[in-house]
Structures are given as C-alpha cells and as structure tokens.
Amino acid sequence: MAHTVPNASSLVTSREATCAGFLAQAKAKGQRTSPYVKEATGLWDTLQKAASVDDVIELVPLKTLATAVGFSDKARRYFTDDELRESIRAVLNTIRAQADDHFREEILYRYLLTRGDTLGGEMRNITGALAQGRFTKTLVQVLRSRKIAVKHEQKGDKITYVAWGERLILFDRKPRLVGKNIDVILLKRTDRRPARELLEDRQLYLACGELKGGIDPAGADEHWKTARSALGRIRERFPHDCPKLFFAGAAIVPSMAEEIFQQLQSGELTRAANLTVDQQVQELVAWLVSL
C-alpha cells in the first residue's frame, strides 16, 4: 500500500489547516455558549428581586446557586441537597459581607466563571469528538465504497464502536491488559462475546492507535507526549505480540513530525497521519480495513 508520508515535513500541519481548525472550534464554541448566556440572563433577572441571602436561596434553583458559588457539576454530586444548601449559604454570606450592595453582581460573575470552566471542559471533549468523527466518517466511507456492511454506535458527541465482518473498532476503552485508556483498538472478532471480554483476549488485538484532535500548535508537543506514552505502554504490555500501532493528530509541528517519522522508520509506529490531510486519513483507514 502506497504511503503518503514520505518524509517528516509531509506530516506537519499547514497554516491554512490550523486557521480552518480554529474557525471550526470557534463555531462549535459559539453554539455551546448560547444556553449558558440564556441561563446567566435568567439568573440576573432573578437576582434583581433578591434583597438578601435568604431571598437568593429561595428564588434561585439550587443547581444554579451551586454553580454561582463555584461548585462544578461533578463536585455537586458529592453533597446531599441539605449539605449543598448549607455550603451555599456560607459562601453567599461571605460574598454579601465582602461585596455589600454589589453582592448580586458578584454572584453573577462567579456563575459565569464556573460556567466558563464547564464550557472549557466541553470544548476539550468536542475536540476529541471532532477527531474521532473525522476518522470514523472516513472509515465508514471506505467500507461502504467496498460494499462492506458496517455498523456503528454513537452516544452524545462520541462514537463508541465501528464493526464490520470479523472486525471491531472500539474507542476510548481501558482494557485491564493495559490498565490505561486507549483511543482506538482494532480487534479480530470471531465470536459474539461482549466487548469487555474481547478486550481481555490479547490474541484478538490487531492494532491500537492514538487520535489527537487539538489544533493549537502550542499544545501539539504535549499531545504527542501523551500519545507517545500511551503507545509505549502498549508495547510494554505486549512484549512478544504487540499489535500494530498508529498515531493521527490534527496539530503536528516540525519537531514532533521528525520524531513521529523516526518511529515510522524504526518500526515503533506502523502508520501515522495528519488528520487535516484527507489523503493521509484515507490511507490510514484503508490500511486498518486491510488488517
């Protein structure tokens, strides 16, 4: 199978692709921001009716108040409603003492700060989902172009699996064999055992890979460092029967490209692709289908 990665420079993300990636993320962020702005507007309207901390607690929903005083959605789950209400009251009393008549504005600002963190987390998930979606869309197109029946499942923004014939790709799984999360796992599926059982049969592993969808060049080296560690861990867990390994990333800078290409030449990696280059992604999935 022909390679579209003849040298390290062919892996480097172009300036045009970087700009297009940032634009796509900005559009996605704008869509996700609208509900938060609506919630914040409603909170401010309600706060105008509150003259005291007791009024705030009475008028504003508990979940919204928890956000306003700095409790993330995850943190909130560790409290009973009564515990959460008392914790909120203590924080609100401090805000009132410090901000005096401006306590309503302070509550709103804190709400927006916490929601900003939430949006940041969502955007990180969306970035991963975009990379996975690009990979999966190309994979399904290749399979269908070959008249191969394919099934896939999506939960929320993310794909959980793609299956065809005796092949199964699982995304974001943590097999006990490895002990850490793997972005993409291609298995040989010769029976209908549940995926969790197939994952513990090392003889079924055909390929494992890391997908990194972040487009910011400033974070590229860190993403590669994480992926490199994950792939190295797989080699350690499969010392004699290691599956084929691959890497695909959206932001690839020159120094990182050099290291990836060196691993391709040494055989540590079997395939690599820049997710912003259609031909490289098509070659990667065609190779996976051939295994």
The answer to whether residues 106 and 116 touch, using CB atoms and an 8 Å cutoff, is no
The answer to whether residues 34 and 122 touch, using CB atoms and an 8 Å cutoff, is no
Six token digits for residue 16: 């045009």
- Residue 250's nearest CA partner among 219, 229, 226 is 219
State the pLDDT at residue 99.
Answer: 87
Which sequence spans correspond to the domains of the chain?
8-26+123-290, 30-122
State the pLDDT at residue 3.
Answer: 62
Rounded to 10°, the helix 220-237/254-266 angle is: 20
| pTM of model > 0.95 | no
Query: Radius of gyration of the chain from Cα atoms?
Result: 24
Q: How far apart (Å, rounded) are the C-alpha atoms in residues 207 and 177?
A: 14
State the pLDDT at residue 1.
Answer: 47
Six token digits for residue 24: 């796509």
The answer to whether residues 228 and 245 touch, using CB atoms and an 8 Å cutoff, is no
* Per-residue CA distances from 113 to 12, 71, 110, 288 (Å): 35, 11, 5, 43
The answer to whether residues 12 and 254 touch, using CB atoms and an 8 Å cutoff, is yes
Could you say which of 1.10.10.10, 3.30.70.20, 1.10.238.90, 3.40.50.300 is the CATH number of the domain covering 30-122? 1.10.238.90
Helix (H, G, I), strand (E, B) or coil at 244: strand
Per-position pLDDT tens, the chain of length 291:
456 688 999 999 999 999 988 888 777 777 777 787 888 898 899 999 988 888 888 899 888 888 888 887 788 888 888 898 899 999 999 999 988 888 999 898 888 888 877 776 666 666 666 778 889 999 999 999 999 999 888 877 778 899 999 999 999 999 998 989 999 999 998 888 888 899 999 999 999 999 998 888 988 899 899 999 999 999 999 998 899 999 999 999 999 999 999 999 999 999 999 999 999 999 999 999 999
Could you say which of 1.10.486.10, 3.40.1210.10, 3.30.1960.10, 3.40.91.10 is the CATH number of the domain covering 8-26+123-290? 3.40.91.10
State the pLDDT at residue 122.
Answer: 65
State the pLDDT at residue 144.
Answer: 92
Query: What is the DSSP pairing of strand 205-212 with strand 244-249?
Result: parallel
- Could you tell me which residues come within 8 angstroms of residue 212 by beta carbon, excluding any fewer than 6 positions away? 131, 223, 224, 226, 227, 247, 248, 249, 250, 251
